[in-house]
């Protein structure tokens, strides 16, 4: 049993069972659907299919970040037990939650001066954020200590590559990320924007690919181009998807064919309610360790 606790937020988009088994504490974001606020509880209270079906039917969920008090409530029991906390937040490039976490950590530092809460901006999102947490849990279980683990996270977080495509632009339109005209045209022409997360943790459109089939191939090509050690990549790979499992499975098949030395099975997770409120259905995201993000 380590003398510190790893923690993160629900937007890491890994299953509840993962956090329980790997002893990672987590705190939920919230989303508002049909005028009611819900915690992002990793699909304990709504299924992914039901959530995205509501969006397809016209629902327009909004989201709210984790509050200072939520972090205090999560961390304080561990500090009382004499444990330190290493917490990674959702990327500051897409959320202000990092600042809230820092405020909470400072409050607790004053209340528990003998303890440490270290807050790190993951510069990652969805299962890319989750993948980083998985690596940290592996290293912790292998005996790495609190300080070294935090330093490793800072050193390697920009090596987590995020590549994804969106086949339904309605949610991006509602969020102001694309214009109504662009969304209408893209949907009519079956254009799938390919995006990634840059070195500042922001979502950046990179290409416009026509048809989902070509977008699937492009994600595989991006992994070929950027994975650590190229086709000899022996690290982990994970996907997340929003109600388009067949498309995600097609990406998995392409990767398994190209990368025979992968570490373990490629997991396909559901994009959570908070990230999914912004991407909508029809999104497939690919995450792996590779080139350090420089733009």
Q: Are residues 10 and 88 in the same domain?
A: yes
* pLDDT (tens place) for every residue of the chain, 295 residues total: 569 999 999 999 999 999 999 999 999 999 999 999 999 999 999 999 999 999 999 899 999 999 999 999 999 999 999 999 999 999 999 999 999 999 999 999 999 999 999 999 999 999 999 999 999 999 999 999 999 999 999 999 999 999 999 987 776 666 555 666 566 666 666 788 999 999 999 999 899 999 999 999 999 999 999 999 999 999 999 999 999 999 999 999 999 999 999 999 999 999 999 999 999 999 999 999 999 998 8
Number of structural domains found in the chain? 2
Q: Are residues 153 and 170 in the same domain?
A: no
Query: What's the pTM?
Result: 0.94
Query: In terms of residue numbers, what domain contains 121?
Result: 4-28+65-158
Q: CATH number of the domain that 265 lies in?
A: 3.30.1180.10
CA distance 104 to 157: 22
Q: Are residues 150 and 166 in the same domain?
A: no
User: 9 near 26, Cβ under 8 Å?
Assistant: yes
Q: Are residues 153 and 173 in the same domain?
A: no
Q: Are residues 146 and 177 in the same domain?
A: no
Instruction: Establish if 177 belongs to a structural domain.
Output: yes
What pLDDT is attached to residue 283? Answer: 97
CA distance 108 to 79: 9
User: 125 near 65, Cβ under 8 Å?
Assistant: no
- The DSSP secondary-structure symbol of 13 reads -
Boundary of a domain, candidates 158, 175, 192: 158
Q: Which token pair is 45?
A: 């209270």
What pLDDT is attached to residue 171? Answer: 66
Q: Are residues 108 and 10 in the same domain?
A: yes
What pLDDT is attached to residue 173? Answer: 62
Q: CATH number of the domain that 23 lies in?
A: 3.40.50.10440
Q: Which token pair is 251?
A: 């990406």
Q: For residue 15, which of 134, 156, 101 has the smallest C-alpha distance?
A: 134
Q: Are residues 20 and 145 in the same domain?
A: yes
Any long-range contacts for 199-202 (C-beta under 8 Å, 24+ apart)? Answer: 199/123, 199/158, 199/292, 199/293, 199/294, 199/295, 200/93, 200/123, 201/91, 201/92, 201/93, 201/94, 201/121, 201/122, 201/123, 201/124, 201/125, 202/91, 202/93, 202/94
């Amino acid at each position: 049993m380590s003398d510190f606790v790893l923690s993160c937020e629900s937007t890491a988009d890994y299953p509840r069972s993962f956090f329980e088994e790997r002893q990672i504490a987590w705190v939920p974001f919230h989303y508002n659907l049909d005028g009611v606020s819900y915690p992002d509880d990793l699909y304990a209270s709504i299924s992914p299919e039901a959530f995205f079906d509501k969006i397809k039917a016209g629902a327009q969920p909004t989201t709210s970040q984790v509050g200072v008090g939520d972090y205090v409530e999560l961390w304080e029991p561990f500090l009382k037990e004499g444990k330190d906390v290493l917490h990674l937040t959702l990327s500051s490039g897409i959320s202000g939650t990092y600042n809230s976490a820092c405020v909470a950590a400072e409050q607790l530092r004053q209340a528990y001066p003998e303890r440490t809460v270290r807050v790190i901006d993951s510069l990652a999102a969805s299962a890319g954020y989750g993948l980083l947490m998985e690596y940290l849990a592996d290293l912790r279980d292998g005996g790495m200590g609190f300080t070294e683990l935090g330093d490793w996270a800072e050193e390697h977080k920009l090596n987590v590559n995020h590549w994804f495509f969106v086949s339904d632009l309605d949610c991006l339109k509602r969020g102001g990320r694309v214009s109504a005209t662009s969304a209408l045209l893209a949907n009519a022409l079956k254009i799938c924007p390919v995006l990634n997360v840059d070195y500042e943790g922001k979502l950046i459109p990179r290409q416009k690919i026509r048809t989902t089939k070509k977008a699937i191939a492009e994600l595989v090509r991006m992994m070929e181009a950027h994975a650590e050690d190229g086709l000899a990549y022996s690290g982990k790979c994970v996907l997340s998807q929003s109600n388009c499992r067949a498309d995600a499975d097609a990406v998995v098949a392409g990767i398994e064919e190209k990368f025979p030395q992968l570490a373990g099975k490629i997991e396909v997770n559901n994009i959570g309610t908070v990230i999914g409120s912004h991407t909508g259905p029809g999104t497939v995201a690919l995450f792996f360790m590779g080139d350090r993000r420089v733009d």
